[in-house]
Amino acid sequence: MSAFIRLGLLSVFQTIFLLLLCNTCLATNYYVGTGIGDITGPAAQVNMMGYANPGQTSHGIHLRQFSRAFIFATSPTSARSVFVSLDACWSPGAVKQQVVKQLKLVYGELYTERNVAVSGIHTHGGAGGFSQYLLYDLTAFGFNQQNFEALVNGTLQSIHQAHKSLQPADIYMNSGELLDSNINRSPTAYLNNPEAERAKYKYDVDKDFVVLKIVDGAGKGIGMISWFAVHCTSMNNTNKLLTSDNKGYASLLFEQQLNPGALPGKGQFVAAFAQSNLGDVSPNTKGPHCLDTGLPCDRDTSTCNGRNEQCVAFGPGNDMFESTKIIATNQFNKALELYNSATIKLSGPVDFRHSYVDMTIQNVTLASGATVQTCKPAMGYSFAAGTTDGPGAFDFKQGSNSSNPFWNLVRDLIKEPTKRQSECHYPKPILLDTGEIKEPYLWQPQIVDTQLIRVGQFVIIVVPGEFTTMSGRRMRELIYNTLVQEGFPSDSKVVIAGLSNEYADYITTFEEYQIQRYEGGSTIYGPHTLDAYLQIYKQLAVYLAQGKPSPLGPPPPNQLGKQISLLPGVIYDLPPIGKHFGQVIKDVQPSYVQGSSVTVTFVSANPRNDLRTGDSFLTVMRKDTSGNWIPEYTDAHWETRFKWVDTGFILGTSEAEIVWDIPIGQQPGEYRIEHRGTSKSITGTKSAFIGQSSTFIVKTAQNIA
């Protein structure tokens, strides 16, 4: 054999070897798709969801809100699971129903109610009126179709993007401990849990921070999901700007890190800071103090001189914006640390189990052998007291097991609880007997989604409400032990994804329920709610581990055709006499220094005329060296604020105040601020407009004259 032939054969074998080696290097365990969609609701005149404060209406945007979707599969043709994290107060069941309905029209049975999980981060800074259940829409003056559609369409957009971007990927998990970012807002209820159980844990809230790192076949990052238990109540009930609060800002920080130069919501890398068992967990780490005296509140009732309105938790910053930034940055830094150091590679099937469950008729067998039953929904007195993150009104107090004759009289005008209902919820004194009211339609859900999502040895417990710290610990422990006993590897990891697929309020332990803090008063299916959920999810875990199907169960109602809305629409917009839409009222200064703020005011129109989904009401433009104007900031950035001011309700006049806080390291140069909006004429015709400020210079300290 000639040397030429030998060299040729050697070259062939080398090529085959390199190809095999390359394929081994690029071999992946999964296919993953990621996507993002804009779910920002009406930025004007719509009551915000979370604090149930009728006076907290939207008047602009601080941070746009997004839907972040992740699709998991083991091959392009295998069964898939979808996890979506919404920058919303929760994931309404009606939203999921509509999303799945639209997905089926496009993809058939590829995506259904069984393998799609939608979780909310629980921001208290979004527009309300998106639930099909009456109680949750009352303070928003009923159902808001525009906001509902924004949630549906943005969620669909994120899933469609994830479907299109499905690609070979590897997934790594990691976990750590995040301190100085959450406290227990109902410590007296937590202390009622068994001492032996509490002794197993170092803290009275979970400090666990869990991360999934997703990389493509070449090892490039394409996504990240984290779970950490903390309320998105850093922005308090005086805030009137739409915001995704601490978790939403953490997502923006992470995406900015991995999508350098991309505007929010426009990058390829998607980072979700999902919610977990946050029920009794506050971000306001300075704790509750009395506004009038500065002293700590009463520990048992969270009151000051007998009144709950004066007892408010703050911190860690000097105001709500600083506090939001600190808690968000803490989560971002921990997520980035765990993302960069993640080495535990997921392997194994992608799977799911799901059942609809009527939570009002669950028979539960307790450890003692006794059988008990859950209740129809009802809200307790301490629900009306609110929390230290957002106090209620009147003379309601947390931690009270007694009722009031006056409020009972008011309650009975709506619906007097039956004796059976009162006994079922004992020791909760019922303030609103929501489960026995069916007019004009159901006030709270009776049928909920229960679901497990599996990606290899990682399992997401998808729950329809707010589990407290100890409730979540019991759930995670039970599901982990069940899975391992049924053959799952011992290094399996389980997390709770809260406020998912529907909102069924809070879930406390039986012991916490006895104290009747806010969380206990809002545990709507009675004292054995947690035990019922534990029983249901354990059975789902057995089905999952054994490869057996789970029953579909009774489907939830569709009440969308019955919804009532008392919020009037936009009648018309008019500019002041002698002015036009987009005209500058208060212009910028000629120059600014890095670290200062720019403010400009325009003649505007009602933002409800056009939500500018996927766009922005404001843009900070920079002039590049070629003379082109480049968008640098939008209303989705932390550094900007879009404030809408109604200057004449009857006249239809309004203004837009736009603020840009110039970062210390902002590139010096020439800038201008643009405002885009849409006006509505008296005949109903809508017209887009644009306004521009004068140009101005951003200077460094060295350039100050």
Catalytic residues: 282
Please tell me the distance from the alpha carbon of residue 697 to that of residue 659, in angstroms, as a whole number.
16
CB 159 within 8 A of CB 84: yes
Please tell me the distance from the alpha carbon of residue 535 to that of residue 533, in angstroms, as a whole number.
5
Structure tokens at 637: 């950035």
Please tell me the distance from the alpha carbon of residue 632 to that of residue 626, in angstroms, as a whole number.
16
In three-state secondary structure terms, 687 is strand
Whether the ω angle into residue 316 lies within 30 degrees of 0, i.e. cis, is: yes
CB 198 within 8 A of CB 191: yes
> What's the DSSP call for residue 115?
T
The conformational region for residue 122 under phi > 0 = left, psi -120 to 50 = alpha, else beta, is: left
Strand partners, 79: none
CB 568 within 8 A of CB 675: no
**In sequence order, what are the residues at sequence separation of 6 or more whose Cβ sits closer than 8 angstroms to the Cβ of residue 50?**
89, 122, 123, 124, 125, 126, 128, 233, 390
Backbone dihedral angles phi then psi of residue 229, each to the nearest 5 degrees:
-90, 110
In angstroms, the Cα distances linking 267 to 36, 256, 262, 272, 620 are 9, 8, 5, 13, 18
Strand partners, 506: 466
In angstroms, the Cα distances linking 428 to 234, 411, 413, 656 are 29, 14, 19, 47
Q: Which long-range contacts (CB under 8 A, 24 or more apart) does 365-371 make?
A: 365/535, 366/528, 366/531
CB 502 within 8 A of CB 92: yes
How many other CB atoms are found less than 10 A from the CB of residue 167? Answer: 15
Please tell me the distance from the alpha carbon of residue 294 to that of residue 272, in angstroms, as a whole number.
37
Please tell me the distance from the alpha carbon of residue 454 to that of residue 351, in angstroms, as a whole number.
5
Q: Which amino acid is at 32?
A: V
CB 675 within 8 A of CB 615: no
In angstroms, the Cα distances linking 93 to 5, 16, 98, 138, 515 are 69, 53, 9, 17, 30
State the number of CA atoms in the 13 A half-sphere of 340 facing the CB. 9
Please tell me the distance from the alpha carbon of residue 540 to that of residue 141, in angstroms, as a whole number.
38
Please tell me the distance from the alpha carbon of residue 326 to that of residue 28, in angstroms, as a whole number.
37
Question: Beta strands of 3-115 (E only): which ranges?
Answer: 30-38, 44-49, 57-61, 66-73, 80-86
Structure tokens at 551: 């029953």
Please tell me the distance from the alpha carbon of residue 499 to that of residue 275, in angstroms, as a whole number.
8
